[in-house]
Amino acid sequence: MNPGADAERKMQFLFALRSHGVTDPRVLTAMEEVDRAPFIKGLFSERAYEDMPLPIACGQTISQPSVVGIMTQALKLQPRDKVLEIGTGSGYQAAILAKLARRVYTVDRYRRLVREARVHFEALDLHNITAMTSDGTRGLPDQAPFDKILVTAAAEDPPGPLLAQLAVGGIMVLPVGQSDAVQSLIKVTRHDTGYDYEELLPVRFVPLLEGLGQE
């Protein structure tokens, strides 16, 4: 691809993000720095700059960039934050989080996805990410509390273990819904006395499942 066409695609990509409500300058810069294309293999790699979800290995998907941007923006990440991501997938979302936070822990139920994501993190020189195969519904109690938690799979309700691992003053962003047809992206803020819930937008994510995946 020639540099002019590449720059044009990058401009269109950022314009699409802004038009969907991604306005935080730090989030936009991180998404400009982390190229989505290497995270997508095969026939779909040429569609990396389109605002659409795309299939990846293990029957999973890479979310559309505007949803990645909105979820990241809703976390209100600070440079000293410790973040937990449930659902590593391609590793694209974790790479963006790593540009904005001090430390990112990301877990996935599929060993293959974690293995491939680590290769991307190494290529991008992102050494503040710890990726591991684990049951995401349980979180990572050994590393809790987390300033921010991001869940990239839908549960019927915010899982209790994840709520418990959120620091007071912390934010969790996750899709909730009883079917893959009706889901809402919600933002949970923890206070001394409980949790506040805010609905952000309708979304569609794969279901959050217990246990490790069979490959």
Provide the annotated active-site residues: 63
Q: How far apart are CA 6 and CA 103, in angstroms?
A: 31
Phi, psi of 89 (to 5 degrees): 55, -130
**What is the CB neighbour count within 10 angstroms for residue 46?**
11
- Encode burial over 117-137: b for 16+ CB neighbours within 10 A, e otherwise: bbebbeebebeebebebbbbb
What three-state secondary structure class fits 135? coil
Q: Is 204 exposed, middle or buried (0-12, 13-18, 19+ CB in 10 A)?
A: middle
Q: How many CA atoms lie within 13 A of 55 on its CB side?
A: 5
Q: Which amino acid is at 85?
A: E
